[in-house]
Chain A
């Protein structure tokens, strides 16, 4: 079980020496408990304490890398069951299945094009999953070489015959592909191979109990670069398996499942595959393999992955650009507020209620409220002046008067000075906007 900050603190020297970069030993202990630092940052910790805290400070799920260089895919090292508790760190890798009997060059050209630009972000399809359909070592090896030659991205090799796998794995070992998979029948040979070529190894069980045993056998052989597959393919069972693996690893520190996980779609229809894969992205798969490969199919899946792995600690913000509420005219008033979404939407609601069309200009305050951002020096006359300019407000309205939130009336002077606009001090609470607007802007 994970230790709390206070439990860890008890084991520390309590000298508050600051050598670890934290102001107190307790602050360091809390950072350790949150997984934000490591015990070796404390130069004074006793051997005894190291022993006591060692297990607690090891990550619950091992970080496993597939591939090399810029396109290396990192899996695992997750600490949470629910993203709102802190965040998920390593987005589910998406691998597209290609068979060794196909026209590899053509498939890879398609695959390499599965990248997207959306809202200023670049989405990448991470991996190729090369499956040995031929059953032939030479074909598989040639295909693996072709994959390696045709893409910079990482890939995995799917073949349960260790001898066939060996030829291909050795040929492309420098690219550190994921070898899929060690099973009860082949694990000794597969583990030896993975050790020899130094590539990560997928472990395929026959249900979770079997998987745990198999993982233990492999780790006894001294290999720990593992990715786990429960072996099940029915959506509801895979969801249950992935949930159990994550839970046991994080909450019970169950070492046999302290590795990233993977799942395969089982549907034939590409649309159904996307839906199935969306479930696995939501619930804990470190890697998902699917056959669907069209842009319109992959984009929704990658978007979902991107959404899920954002940092939930960031305050919800609205875009810091001017919004027109109602049928604005050049006479319409201009309200200033911040880009903290809660603040913004309350103001927007009240401006709507006022029934007087207006512009609302949210200032970028990193998503904090009016008073707080004033206090922290983020809502300033200069920031307002800059926003007025960037949003070309002078071209939008025929006046130069803005409404400042009543709570920051003190910014009137600096705002007028910096922007050349006249400040009208608005109400403190958004609820006062309708009567304020009636008084000042009603025709």
Chain B
């Protein structure tokens, strides 16, 4: 049978396939990654493409929205090339390089150094050691000779050596005439020699990598451990996304498919190795000089990264395999750094409060400050920590990915083309939007959605319950198969040529997301019997922090009605904490303690959270007295 040629536009990439190949597979062969969080099962409804020309077979049963169907789109996984075809891939269907939050991108962020109070004492260093050569009288063995010298140099009683270095030891000592340079890692009070070079090398290059593994994105920094400076920073999307958008889908994939766990583990390792290559490339640095890796990640990501089965995380009573995990050698994980380098992961507090939050808590000094601080990381799963130097509690509220654009018709992450603010004339309902990069709008990101919700309420497009007011006079408000929707950008002005709309369902999703965050905060306060006003500062981490307007966030009841000066944006605190631990043994030690000290509140126990959630499903809140600064907005 003749091969079929599939041409993808606008990329103009062609690929020859056997007839009957799905367009999803064809795209993969062409090197185009499509969004397909169900892995090609036809259930996520996201790998939408448009067949421009040619003959295809479309299988029934896929989960495709009436809106997409009407627009002539098909699911790539359920559509099979039967001859030469031309397929257009809309930008929304592509798994694209995400804008990853690296700290230099932050606009409003207060620069938290994090190193305050910690001296530069990296988890790994190179030591130049000079030994007294052995004699017939003084005949201590090579290793014990070196061990004694390192003990006194580091004032550390527990000094070990890895087997592979031990094998090299006799020749290295003698080649350097009893002078050697050793790479020594110090973790949890125990030192280990992981590299050895003869002589006192002139360059003592030693690097470490700090990694933040998010469910959606991964960010990494290469740090010079001699001086603590950042050499380079990189971010990318987490390639595990192809197995599902959220941690639950990934846990299911890992638990229910025979090779699932291995697949997810390999995928995150490969994501990290790609990042490492990029990090090392600018300075032409060698992987073997990277001697230490710190990883901050949510509990599920930590499990998958280490290849630990995550199955019971999602099942009641939500128990992780381990909160604190032992250090592991890079070679064991397949990370492309020095094979003997140690990789350490931040401890988790509970199934849904992970090492990323411990890392953030560390770097923000919440546990060293007498002020009662609320630290919130608003990502896919809003996590929060409340407390001060005496006590700390944490909780996770399943806010969902709405603020990252997930589950919103035209939602997207904060990247080029995303609407980040919306202005609507209260009389004419004419709309002005601004986009990131000042280009044609592609969709709307978290801050845009928050602004949109606040503006819709302020000009009366929706009522306090989020219901569209269908009696207002504007052609922008129209009814579709799925209910009412408001046109933000007409097709003529959007990138795709299609109208960018906000639907009533989008608003419901946003309401739920904001209600979950606010309810989480209230439930945590209830648990320790504190009032909202007793919070002395609020630190906000997470993907949308850069563009978020606090006033809007309060207007919609996402954040508590506290004075603006109490709020600080801290960007990707997880990555910052990972960097801090890399350059400070003391900070790493403190992270271990934090993991033990933070008290986790399970919001699904009892119905306080549910009650709070229900009362927050209103703009700004059913209890208006909680929002005294928002009065009488019609």
Contact = CB atoms under 8 A, between A and B. Distances in A.
The reply, when asked whether chain A contacts chain B directly with Cβ atoms under 8 A, is: yes
Interface of A: 4-6, 9-10, 16, 23-24, 26-27, 30, 33, 312-315, 371-372, 374-378, 406, 409-410, 412-413, 422-423, 425, 427-429, 431-432, 435, 439
B202 interface: no
Q: Tell me which of B505, B527, B606 has the highest count of chain A C-beta atoms within 10 A of its own C-beta.
A: B527
Given A377-B316, A429-B508, 4 more contacts: A4-B528, A26-B599, A372-B604, A425-B43
B529 A23 contact: no
Interface in B280-316: 314-316
Please tell me the size bucket of the interface on B: 35 or more
B381 to A, nearest CB: 10
Given A27-B599, A410-B249, A435-B482, A315 B63 contact: no
A415 B342 CA distance: 44
A23 B600 contact: yes
Contacts, number: 96
B529 A412 contact: no
B483 interface: yes
B528 A6 contact: yes
A413 B596 contact: no
B41 A413 contact: yes
B38 interface: yes
Interface in B530-579: 530
B505 A428 contact: yes
Main secondary structure of the interface of B (DSSP, over half): loop
A377 B600 CA distance: 22
B599 A23 contact: yes
A435 B41 contact: no
A374 B481 contact: no
Q: Tell me which of A313, A425, A439 has the highest count of chain B C-beta atoms within 10 A of its own C-beta.
A: A425
B607 A412 contact: no
Contacts of A431: 482-483, 504-505
B598 interface: yes
22 contacts: A4-B528, A6-B391, A6-B529, A6-B530, A9-B391, A23-B600, A26-B391, A26-B392, A30-B527, A30-B599, A315-B610, A377-B314, A409-B63, A410-B252, A412-B42, A412-B61, A412-B63, A413-B43, A425-B43, A427-B482, A431-B504, A431-B505
Contact of B63 (A372, A378, A406): A406
B393 interface: yes
A23 B508 CA distance: 37
Given A24-B598, A409-B44, A432-B483, A376 B391 contact: no
A413 B249 CA distance: 14
A16 B594 CA distance: 11
B133 interface: no
Nearest to B527: A30
Interface of B: 38, 41-45, 61, 63, 66, 244, 248-249, 252, 314-316, 318, 390-393, 398, 400, 407, 481-483, 504-505, 508, 527-530, 596-600, 604, 606-607, 610
A4 B408 CA distance: 41
Contacts of B527: 5, 30
Contacts of A374: 248
A410 B607 contact: no
B253 to A, nearest CB: 10
Given A26-B599, A431-B483, A409 B43 contact: yes
Contact of B248 (A33, A375, A412): A375
Contacts of A410: 38, 41, 43-44, 244, 249, 252
Contacts of B528: 4-6, 30
Contacts of B391: 6, 9, 26
User: Considering the complex of A and B, which 7 residue pairs feature the smallest CB-CB distances, nearest first?
Assistant: A409-B43, A425-B63, A4-B529, A26-B599, A409-B63, A24-B599, A375-B248
Contact of A376 (B41, B63, B315, B600): B315
Contact of B607 (A315, A423, A429): A315
A439 B66 contact: yes
A312 B606 CA distance: 9
A427 B66 CA distance: 10
A16 B529 contact: no
Nearest to B350: A23
Nearest to B42: A412
Given A4-B528, A16-B597, A315-B610, A26 B505 contact: no
A375 B398 contact: yes
Contacts of A24: 596-599
Contact of B606 (A313, A371, A435): A313
Contacts of B43: 409-410, 412-413, 425
B62 to A, nearest CB: 8
Contacts of A422: 61
Nearest to A410: B43
Nearest to A428: B505
Contacts of A312: 607
Given A5-B527, A409-B44, A412-B41, A313 B597 contact: no
A312 to B, nearest CB: 8
Nearest to A439: B66
Contacts of A413: 41, 43
Contact of B529 (A5, A10, A27): A5
Contacts of A30: 527-528, 599
A439 B481 CA distance: 10
Contacts of A314: 607
B505 A432 contact: yes
Nearest to B593: A16
Contacts of B318: 376
A405 to B, nearest CB: 11
Nearest to B38: A410
A431 B607 CA distance: 26
Contacts of A5: 527-529
